[in-house]
Chains A and B, each alone.
Chain A
Amino acid sequence: MLQKTRLLATVAAAGLVWACGGGGDAGGDGDAGDAGGETAAPVVDPATAGAISGLIAFEGEAPAAERIDMAEEPECDDAYPGDGALTQHALVSSDGMLGNVFVYVKEGLGAGFPTPSQPAVLDQENCRYHPHIVGLQVDQPLLIRNSDPILHNINTQPSINRGFNISQPQAGMETTRDFGMAEVMIPVKCDVHGWMSAFVGVVDHPYFAVSRGDGAFSLPNLPPGDYVVEAWHELFGTQTANVTVGEGATAEVSFTFNAGMARNAVVPLGDPLIIKHAEDGSLTAVREPADD
């Protein structure tokens, strides 16, 4: 009973490029792992393809990690000896680099990138989501797995896509869903364990990544052109940069976040959402801060 959200534009786009095949690794793997993005889109000429790579730095004092009280779930609590489980909202390395930043090409790409058939994976293990930040493409399967022998519920809270909330009461249970529209980011939470949180970034092309623990990211195999790249962090908000990728060149771009940006962080859920219809049939969504 998987109900798929369809978007006219993406359906049309998928149809256009279906014959080209494709696919490949997309989606982050590991808590701050390099999120794929190396899909070989046949529309990209390998002879001229370039790349964007860079670092995410952090200035100032990062918010201290707090201990999560998992005493109510001994199965999970036992997995974190010593200091116990700590919050990981701000993953700052000893040399001031920021992990778990979702970086993606926001503007400058055409449509028509193939949809990978290989799923991105969101695992629940020891009462945490792995990875914390997942990236995937529109209509790409998201495999949600429960590796814990206890109940989790997966409550997705998108604004542009339809949010679902399902139970996974048993270890090994897997569910596959997808999102029909691009949306950065979709919060995911478990209501049984209030500390569990993940974010899913859905884009309509393969050029996205999650910064690793050392702050590094890369977006390979990009056609030459002018792009707007956005970096998103759950506490420190978003930043954009204009980047030009030359033929066969790797453009460097770096972002610096600081603790003072925290107040501009995650847009509160429930802010009014305006969905705009463009003439080409695509839809974009804008959130307006609530009056109060």
Chain B
Amino acid sequence: MAGGSGFRFARCALGMRSLLASLRGLRIVAAALAARIPGAAWSMPLPVGLSRVRWMGVMIAVLVALLPPARLAPAQDAASGEAIYRAWCLECHGAEGRGDGPAATHMLPRPRDFVGARYQIRTTASGELPTDDDLMRVMRDGLPGTAMPGWPNLSDQEKRDVVAYIKSFSPFFERETPEVLQRSADPGGGADRALAGREVYGTLECARCHGEQGRGDGRSAPTLEDWRGFPVRAADLSEPWLFNGGMGADAIHTRFLTGVDGTPMPSNQDALEAGVVTEEDLWDLAHYVAGLGPAEAPELEEVVRVERREQLPDGPADEAWDDLPRFYFPLVGQIVEPPRQFSPTVDGVWVQGVHDGAELALRVEWHDPSNSPDPGWQEWQDKIAGALYSDESAIPVEPLPDLLALQFPMTFSDGRGRPYFLMGEGRNPVYLWLWHSRRGAVEGRATGLGTAEVVDSGAGLTASAEWEAGRWRVVFRRPLAAADDGMLSFSEGAPIPIAFFAWDGSSGETGTRGSISAWYFIGLQPPPSNAVFMAPLVAFLVTGGLGMFAVRRAQKSYRG
């Protein structure tokens, strides 16, 4: 097994100790997250009626057909698989394959238990084992939305060996040969069928767990458990890039029929056979669910473009926000300082900004199935605390609020010298906008985790918030200029660093347990100036002049 930086990263991503040691900046994790987000590689134009997964299937089939027969099914070497397993998999999945490695207690969902052999992502019927191809796919692509990464450092043969080894943990594989569940082909129509799919969403009562808007906030959501009794989230259907089984209508349709074993998500194969739903219904539903989120994972941009407008939007629901660009920033658990949070609720924020030359308005939007504090989620909070926090400091028992902190440098001149991303440090503090789900926003200052104190820039920060169907939208407003010289003033032109810290109270997140982003920027659009009109004019004249000059010379030399 060779070295290499990708290799090393993958190792430390799973080796929690080395991950902690190497985490000087969360940018590494953010970059890794961005790299893991599927999308970029899939952007080829597709023939009509062929979804991505099937198109890949066709390509794989063609490639396989071109291979010499001897390479079709190379022997699997469980002994070689064991060596690889011990190097890469054991930290999470444990020496005996029971999903109880040293890092497992930090994770929700817990790592797969290969002995119980309940596999979520399969192409087989509910209750069946996965095929080798199913296991290979997970090793190749990982399970988005979980701690399981893809393994580009392992060759296909090595992956096959690992598959042979992990199957050897469970006697089920000796007794049964899984068969791929036959599914109907997509009848086509794509997004046009989504409206009909909304009806099926009602028939199958998907909203009971996934919520009316699909954000995982259904009535049963706070009670859901996996097969080992650990709390499990109903998938947020509007964030398909985090679907365990991958995005796109075909993958979604597969989950409808296979179910997601070990979780509350049932198979609808029996309902199909009983005629409660038709083949067409399920495809309509697949297109509806696919349409609840973007077709591709959101691209990470560094800078929030804060446009200049005559008028600022009124509140979080003002339609004026719809015309402004949205920027997505991934968040990951705060795992540098204890107590840590490895499996946070908030996995990203959408940010929009607008200013009018005197005041800045930022709308931050994120998905959180609970409007905390909410007694209806108290049991969930206790279960999360029991599953994730038992090895560290005090477990919260009170219903906790949702919180959001926007971090900025305390003062700012040239765009460099950002404070430490975890709430700054002694000589380089951060300036904070601290929002509390029941008390609104205050300004703050911090010199490290847990040191936030309320300060007042004299400028007057206000916030208005709205929680609706599993989504927070908070609008912050503050005059660009601070009254106090020692506080941050927002100026046009130079990008100003910004970072995010979010807490879901109903998951017991408070203090250092929450999710955090790396540093990004907001850039305020300057007012239209004369330069804007002069530059094109100058360019036009220079180009025209050079053109005339060239023509003249050519004419001269032709005559000569």
Q: Which residues of A contact B (CB under 8 A)?
A: 1, 3, 5-8, 72, 150-151, 153-157, 159, 162-170, 173-175, 191-194, 268-270, 272-273, 275, 277, 283, 290-291
Contact = CB atoms under 8 A, between A and B. Distances in A.
B271 A173 contact: yes
A169 B220 contact: no
A192 B220 contact: yes
B98 A155 contact: no
A168 B276 CA distance: 8
B229 A192 contact: no
B204 A269 contact: no
Given A165-B126, A166-B126, A290-B100, A157 B227 contact: yes
A62 B206 CA distance: 38
Contact of B267 (A151, A164, A170, A174): A164
A192 B208 contact: yes
A277 B172 CA distance: 12
Contacts of B128: 3, 162
Contacts of A168: 270-271, 276
A170 B205 contact: no
B270 A167 contact: yes
A167 B306 CA distance: 47
Nearest to B261: A165
B172 A1 contact: no
11 contacts: A5-B175, A5-B176, A151-B204, A162-B127, A164-B125, A166-B259, A166-B270, A167-B271, A168-B270, A192-B208, A192-B264
A167 B266 contact: yes
A231 B245 CA distance: 42
A165 B264 contact: yes
Given A1-B269, A162-B172, A166-B269, 5 more contacts: A7-B175, A165-B127, A165-B267, A174-B274, A272-B96
A149 to B, nearest CB: 11
A87 to B, nearest CB: 15
A192 B209 contact: yes
B115 interface: yes
Contact of A163 (B225, B227, B229): B227
Contact of B223 (A162, A165, A194, A277): A194
B402 to A, nearest CB: 24
Contacts of A154: 266
Given A162-B127, A162-B172, A269 B271 contact: no
A145 to B, nearest CB: 11
4 cross-chain pairs, A with B, having the tightest CB-CB distances, nearest first: A164-B127, A191-B264, A270-B228, A151-B205
Given A164-B267, A166-B266, A270 B227 contact: yes
A270 B116 contact: yes
Contact of A3 (B115, B127, B263): B127
Contacts of B96: 272
A290 B115 CA distance: 13
A6 B267 contact: no
Interface in B131-182: 171-172, 175-176, 179, 181-182
Interface in B211-268: 219-220, 223-225, 227-229, 259, 261-268
B125 A1 contact: yes
A283 B174 CA distance: 12
B362 to A, nearest CB: 37
Contact of B204 (A8, A167, A270, A275): A167
A180 to B, nearest CB: 9
B28 to A, nearest CB: 31
B267 A191 contact: no
Nearest to B224: A191
B125 A3 contact: yes
B229 A191 contact: no
B273 interface: yes
Given A167-B268, A191-B224, A192-B220, A269 B209 contact: no
Interface string B263-305: 1111111110110110000000000000000000000000000
B220 A173 contact: no
B205 A192 contact: yes
Contacts of A170: 271, 274, 276
A209 B273 CA distance: 33
A191 B270 CA distance: 17
Given A191-B220, A191-B264, A275 B227 contact: no
Contacts of B113: 270
A269 B126 contact: no
Contact of A169 (B175, B176, B228, B271): B271
B212 to A, nearest CB: 14
Nearest to A277: B171
Contacts of A167: 204, 266-268, 270-271
B118 interface: yes
Interface in B417-456: none
B22 interface: no
A163 to B, nearest CB: 6
A166 B204 contact: no
Contacts of B220: 191-194
A270 B116 CA distance: 8
A104 to B, nearest CB: 24
A241 to B, nearest CB: 31
Given A162-B128, A165-B264, A173-B274, A270 B229 contact: yes
